[in-house]
Structure 1
Amino acid sequence: MAKKGDCYTVRLTTGYLNWGTHRYTESRDLIPGEAYIPIPSVNARQFNIVNSNATQNRDELGKNVFEFVVEDNFMSGHLKAQGNNKAGDIYAKQFSVLNDLKALGSWFDHIGASVGTEIKVEWLTPTQILLSKADKTESH
Protein backbone atom coordinates (compact mmCIF):
# COMPACT_ATOMS: atom_id res chain seq x y z
CA MET A 1 0.00 0.00 0.00
CA ALA A 2 1.24 3.49 -0.81
CA LYS A 3 2.14 5.80 2.05
CA LYS A 4 2.55 9.55 2.45
CA GLY A 5 5.25 10.85 0.12
CA ASP A 6 5.21 7.94 -2.31
CA CYS A 7 4.95 9.21 -5.89
CA TYR A 8 5.63 8.62 -9.54
CA THR A 9 5.81 10.84 -12.60
CA VAL A 10 4.57 10.02 -16.10
CA ARG A 11 4.95 11.76 -19.45
CA LEU A 12 1.69 12.17 -21.36
CA THR A 13 1.30 10.80 -24.86
CA THR A 14 -1.47 11.29 -27.40
CA GLY A 15 -3.18 8.13 -26.18
CA TYR A 16 -3.39 9.34 -22.57
CA LEU A 17 -4.56 12.83 -23.56
CA ASN A 18 -7.16 11.65 -26.09
CA TRP A 19 -8.18 8.16 -25.00
CA GLY A 20 -11.73 8.60 -26.25
CA THR A 21 -10.65 9.20 -29.85
CA HIS A 22 -7.09 7.81 -30.11
CA ARG A 23 -7.81 4.12 -29.62
CA TYR A 24 -6.54 0.84 -31.00
CA THR A 25 -9.83 -0.95 -30.50
CA GLU A 26 -13.29 -0.61 -31.96
CA SER A 27 -15.01 -1.96 -28.85
CA ARG A 28 -17.08 1.23 -28.47
CA ASP A 29 -17.83 4.55 -30.14
CA LEU A 30 -15.22 7.32 -30.18
CA ILE A 31 -15.84 9.84 -27.39
CA PRO A 32 -13.93 13.15 -27.49
CA GLY A 33 -12.54 14.45 -24.20
CA GLU A 34 -11.78 11.17 -22.47
CA ALA A 35 -8.34 10.93 -20.89
CA TYR A 36 -6.48 9.01 -18.21
CA ILE A 37 -3.27 8.92 -16.20
CA PRO A 38 -1.19 5.78 -16.72
CA ILE A 39 0.11 3.68 -13.86
CA PRO A 40 3.43 2.09 -14.82
CA SER A 41 3.38 -1.62 -13.90
CA VAL A 42 6.39 -1.22 -11.61
CA ASN A 43 4.50 1.43 -9.61
CA ALA A 44 1.25 -0.57 -9.57
CA ARG A 45 3.12 -3.44 -7.94
CA GLN A 46 5.28 -1.22 -5.71
CA PHE A 47 2.25 0.66 -4.30
CA ASN A 48 -0.24 -2.26 -4.63
CA ILE A 49 -2.59 -0.31 -6.92
CA VAL A 50 -5.11 -2.92 -8.01
CA ASN A 51 -8.14 -3.09 -10.26
CA SER A 52 -11.54 -4.65 -9.59
CA ASN A 53 -10.15 -8.16 -10.25
CA ALA A 54 -8.54 -7.89 -6.80
CA THR A 55 -11.60 -6.45 -5.02
CA GLN A 56 -14.34 -8.79 -6.26
CA ASN A 57 -15.68 -5.92 -8.43
CA ARG A 58 -16.15 -3.61 -5.43
CA ASP A 59 -14.69 -0.14 -5.01
CA GLU A 60 -12.33 -0.16 -2.02
CA LEU A 61 -10.71 3.05 -0.79
CA GLY A 62 -6.93 2.72 -0.80
CA LYS A 63 -6.98 -0.29 -3.12
CA ASN A 64 -8.72 0.57 -6.39
CA VAL A 65 -10.28 3.94 -5.46
CA PHE A 66 -8.48 6.97 -4.04
CA GLU A 67 -9.60 10.43 -3.00
CA PHE A 68 -7.78 13.08 -5.04
CA VAL A 69 -7.25 16.78 -5.48
CA VAL A 70 -5.27 18.66 -8.12
CA GLU A 71 -2.61 21.15 -7.08
CA ASP A 72 -4.64 24.30 -7.85
CA ASN A 73 -7.93 22.87 -6.48
CA PHE A 74 -9.48 22.98 -9.99
CA MET A 75 -11.10 19.66 -9.16
CA SER A 76 -11.24 16.89 -6.61
CA GLY A 77 -13.11 13.64 -6.16
CA HIS A 78 -12.21 9.99 -6.50
CA LEU A 79 -9.78 8.30 -8.87
CA LYS A 80 -10.46 4.76 -9.94
CA ALA A 81 -7.59 2.40 -10.75
CA GLN A 82 -8.62 0.39 -13.81
CA GLY A 83 -7.51 -1.89 -16.58
CA ASN A 84 -4.68 -4.37 -16.73
CA ASN A 85 -1.88 -5.43 -19.00
CA LYS A 86 -3.18 -8.96 -19.49
CA ALA A 87 -6.52 -10.65 -18.85
CA GLY A 88 -7.07 -11.46 -15.19
CA ASP A 89 -4.14 -9.39 -13.88
CA ILE A 90 -4.97 -7.67 -10.58
CA TYR A 91 -2.66 -4.66 -11.03
CA ALA A 92 -4.19 -1.53 -12.56
CA LYS A 93 -2.70 0.27 -15.57
CA GLN A 94 -4.53 3.63 -15.42
CA PHE A 95 -6.39 6.15 -13.29
CA SER A 96 -9.57 7.90 -14.36
CA VAL A 97 -12.06 9.91 -12.34
CA LEU A 98 -14.70 7.60 -10.87
CA ASN A 99 -17.75 7.58 -13.19
CA ASP A 100 -16.36 10.41 -15.38
CA LEU A 101 -13.89 9.50 -18.13
CA LYS A 102 -13.84 13.13 -19.35
CA ALA A 103 -12.83 14.83 -16.07
CA LEU A 104 -9.08 14.31 -16.48
CA GLY A 105 -9.37 15.61 -20.04
CA SER A 106 -10.86 18.83 -18.63
CA TRP A 107 -8.00 19.13 -16.14
CA PHE A 108 -5.43 18.48 -18.87
CA ASP A 109 -7.02 21.31 -20.90
CA HIS A 110 -7.03 23.56 -17.80
CA ILE A 111 -3.28 23.12 -17.22
CA GLY A 112 -2.43 23.32 -20.92
CA ALA A 113 -1.16 19.75 -21.05
CA SER A 114 0.17 18.45 -24.34
CA VAL A 115 2.22 15.49 -25.52
CA GLY A 116 5.31 15.42 -23.28
CA THR A 117 3.73 17.16 -20.28
CA GLU A 118 4.72 15.35 -17.10
CA ILE A 119 2.17 14.56 -14.40
CA LYS A 120 3.12 13.76 -10.82
CA VAL A 121 0.96 11.38 -8.78
CA GLU A 122 1.76 11.77 -5.07
CA TRP A 123 0.18 10.12 -2.04
CA LEU A 124 -0.77 12.47 0.79
CA THR A 125 -2.05 9.52 2.83
CA PRO A 126 -2.64 5.85 1.92
CA THR A 127 -6.05 6.86 0.51
CA GLN A 128 -5.46 10.43 -0.78
CA ILE A 129 -3.59 11.51 -3.92
CA LEU A 130 -2.37 14.90 -5.14
CA LEU A 131 -2.12 15.35 -8.93
CA SER A 132 0.15 18.05 -10.28
CA LYS A 133 1.97 19.15 -13.37
CA ALA A 134 5.50 17.95 -12.65
CA ASP A 135 8.50 20.21 -12.49
CA LYS A 136 10.68 19.30 -15.49
CA THR A 137 13.60 18.70 -13.11
CA GLU A 138 11.83 15.85 -11.29
CA SER A 139 12.96 12.33 -12.11
CA HIS A 140 10.75 9.49 -13.32
Structure 2
Amino acid sequence: MPRTGDEFITVLKKAHIEWGNHRHTSTRGVVYGEGYLQIPRSEARTIGIFNSNSSNTHIFNCNSTDGFLVNASIKASGSSTANDVFAKQFQGNGNLRLIGDWFRHVNAQVGDQVKISWTSPTDIEITKL
Protein backbone atom coordinates (compact mmCIF):
# COMPACT_ATOMS: atom_id res chain seq x y z
CA MET A 1 0.00 0.00 0.00
CA PRO A 2 1.43 3.40 -0.94
CA ARG A 3 2.49 5.76 1.84
CA THR A 4 2.51 9.55 2.01
CA GLY A 5 5.71 10.72 0.33
CA ASP A 6 6.10 7.77 -2.04
CA GLU A 7 6.85 8.90 -5.58
CA PHE A 8 8.32 7.87 -8.91
CA ILE A 9 8.93 9.34 -12.34
CA THR A 10 7.68 7.80 -15.56
CA VAL A 11 8.76 8.69 -19.10
CA LEU A 12 6.02 9.08 -21.69
CA LYS A 13 6.01 6.97 -24.84
CA LYS A 14 3.74 7.24 -27.85
CA ALA A 15 1.63 4.32 -26.63
CA HIS A 16 0.91 6.17 -23.35
CA ILE A 17 -0.10 9.42 -25.04
CA GLU A 18 -2.08 7.79 -27.87
CA TRP A 19 -3.37 4.68 -26.10
CA GLY A 20 -6.71 4.62 -27.92
CA ASN A 21 -5.27 4.60 -31.40
CA HIS A 22 -1.60 3.49 -31.14
CA ARG A 23 -1.78 -0.11 -30.04
CA HIS A 24 -1.39 -3.56 -31.47
CA THR A 25 -4.65 -5.30 -30.64
CA SER A 26 -7.91 -6.09 -32.33
CA THR A 27 -9.91 -6.44 -29.11
CA ARG A 28 -11.67 -3.11 -29.72
CA GLY A 29 -11.80 -0.30 -32.23
CA VAL A 30 -9.80 2.90 -32.38
CA VAL A 31 -10.74 5.43 -29.69
CA TYR A 32 -8.94 8.77 -29.98
CA GLY A 33 -8.00 10.74 -26.87
CA GLU A 34 -7.24 7.95 -24.41
CA GLY A 35 -4.05 7.96 -22.37
CA TYR A 36 -2.41 6.30 -19.40
CA LEU A 37 0.53 6.65 -17.05
CA GLN A 38 2.90 3.70 -17.01
CA ILE A 39 3.87 2.20 -13.65
CA PRO A 40 7.26 0.50 -13.86
CA ARG A 41 7.04 -2.97 -12.32
CA SER A 42 9.87 -2.22 -9.91
CA GLU A 43 7.93 0.79 -8.58
CA ALA A 44 4.68 -1.17 -8.33
CA ARG A 45 6.45 -3.79 -6.20
CA THR A 46 8.38 -1.31 -4.05
CA ILE A 47 5.47 1.04 -3.38
CA GLY A 48 2.75 -1.62 -3.37
CA ILE A 49 0.58 -0.50 -6.30
CA PHE A 50 -1.93 -3.27 -6.89
CA ASN A 51 -4.55 -3.93 -9.56
CA SER A 52 -7.99 -5.54 -9.24
CA ASN A 53 -6.43 -9.03 -8.94
CA SER A 54 -5.61 -8.01 -5.37
CA SER A 55 -7.90 -7.13 -2.49
CA ASN A 56 -5.80 -4.00 -1.81
CA THR A 57 -6.93 -0.51 -2.83
CA HIS A 58 -6.43 0.26 -6.49
CA ILE A 59 -8.61 3.39 -6.85
CA PHE A 60 -6.99 6.75 -6.07
CA ASN A 61 -7.96 10.43 -6.02
CA CYS A 62 -5.74 12.36 -8.41
CA ASN A 63 -4.83 16.03 -8.58
CA SER A 64 -2.47 17.61 -11.07
CA THR A 65 -0.18 20.38 -9.89
CA ASP A 66 -1.36 22.58 -12.79
CA GLY A 67 -4.94 22.44 -11.43
CA PHE A 68 -6.48 20.67 -14.44
CA LEU A 69 -7.29 17.47 -12.52
CA VAL A 70 -9.03 17.97 -9.18
CA ASN A 71 -10.06 14.89 -7.18
CA ALA A 72 -10.22 12.85 -10.38
CA SER A 73 -10.77 9.14 -9.87
CA ILE A 74 -8.00 6.99 -11.33
CA LYS A 75 -7.28 3.33 -10.96
CA ALA A 76 -4.20 1.21 -11.01
CA SER A 77 -4.80 -1.51 -13.56
CA GLY A 78 -3.29 -4.01 -15.94
CA SER A 79 -0.54 -6.51 -15.29
CA SER A 80 2.60 -7.77 -16.98
CA THR A 81 1.50 -11.39 -16.75
CA ALA A 82 -1.85 -13.10 -16.24
CA ASN A 83 -3.18 -12.92 -12.66
CA ASP A 84 -0.29 -10.72 -11.48
CA VAL A 85 -1.39 -8.44 -8.60
CA PHE A 86 0.94 -5.53 -9.43
CA ALA A 87 -0.47 -2.78 -11.65
CA LYS A 88 1.27 -1.58 -14.79
CA GLN A 89 -0.65 1.65 -15.41
CA PHE A 90 -2.90 4.39 -14.07
CA GLN A 91 -6.00 5.16 -16.09
CA GLY A 92 -9.16 7.14 -15.54
CA ASN A 93 -11.61 5.14 -13.44
CA GLY A 94 -14.48 4.72 -15.89
CA ASN A 95 -13.05 7.39 -18.21
CA LEU A 96 -10.15 6.23 -20.37
CA ARG A 97 -9.84 9.76 -21.82
CA LEU A 98 -9.13 11.40 -18.43
CA ILE A 99 -5.33 11.08 -18.62
CA GLY A 100 -5.38 11.80 -22.36
CA ASP A 101 -7.24 15.06 -21.69
CA TRP A 102 -4.57 16.02 -19.15
CA PHE A 103 -1.83 15.10 -21.65
CA ARG A 104 -3.38 17.52 -24.16
CA HIS A 105 -3.75 20.22 -21.49
CA VAL A 106 -0.04 20.08 -20.61
CA ASN A 107 1.00 19.52 -24.24
CA ALA A 108 2.67 16.22 -23.33
CA GLN A 109 5.17 14.86 -25.83
CA VAL A 110 7.03 11.58 -26.21
CA GLY A 111 10.01 11.68 -23.85
CA ASP A 112 8.39 14.01 -21.30
CA GLN A 113 8.59 12.96 -17.66
CA VAL A 114 5.71 12.81 -15.20
CA LYS A 115 6.23 12.67 -11.44
CA ILE A 116 3.61 10.71 -9.52
CA SER A 117 3.56 11.49 -5.78
CA TRP A 118 1.36 10.27 -2.93
CA THR A 119 0.05 12.99 -0.63
CA SER A 120 -1.77 10.30 1.38
CA PRO A 121 -2.20 6.53 0.91
CA THR A 122 -5.20 7.20 -1.39
CA ASP A 123 -4.33 10.59 -2.92
CA ILE A 124 -1.96 11.13 -5.84
CA GLU A 125 -0.51 14.29 -7.31
CA ILE A 126 0.88 14.30 -10.85
CA THR A 127 3.30 16.81 -12.33
CA LYS A 128 4.66 17.10 -15.84
CA LEU A 129 8.35 17.88 -15.37
Please give the TM-score of this superposition, normalised by the length of structure 1: 0.88
CA shift digits 1:113-140 (9 cap, x unpaired): 0101100000001111000112xxxxxx
Match of 2:87 among 76, 88, 92: 92
- Per the alignment, residue 32 of structure 1 pairs with 32
Match of 1:79 among 55, 61, 74: 74
- Per the alignment, residue 19 of structure 1 pairs with 19
Q: Aligned-pair distance for 1:104?
A: 0.7
SS at match of 2:9: strand
SS at match of 1:52: coil
The one-letter code of the counterpart of 1:36 is Y
Question: 2:9 and 2:48 mapped to 1: Cα distance?
Answer: 16
Question: 1:31 and 1:78 mapped to 2: Cα distance?
Answer: 20
CA shift digits 1:56-91 (9 cap, x unpaired): xxxx6xx21111100021122111000000011011
Q: Aligned-pair distance for 1:4?
A: 1.5
Q: Aligned-pair distance for 1:54?
A: 0.7
Structure 2 unmatched runs, 5+: none
Aligned residue pairs total: 128
Q: Aligned-pair distance for 1:103?
A: 1.0
The one-letter code of the counterpart of 1:88 is N
Match of 1:122 among 104, 117, 121: 117
The one-letter code of the counterpart of 2:64 is V
Percent of aligned positions that are identical: 37
> Displaced runs of 4+ in structure 1, greater than 6 A?
none
Question: 1:32 and 1:68 mapped to 2: Cα distance?
Answer: 22
- Per the alignment, residue 112 of structure 1 pairs with 107
| RMSD of aligned residue pairs (Cα, Å) | 1.0
Q: Aligned-pair distance for 1:3?
A: 1.4
Q: Aligned-pair distance for 1:17?
A: 0.2
Please give the TM-score of this superposition, normalised by the length of structure 2: 0.95
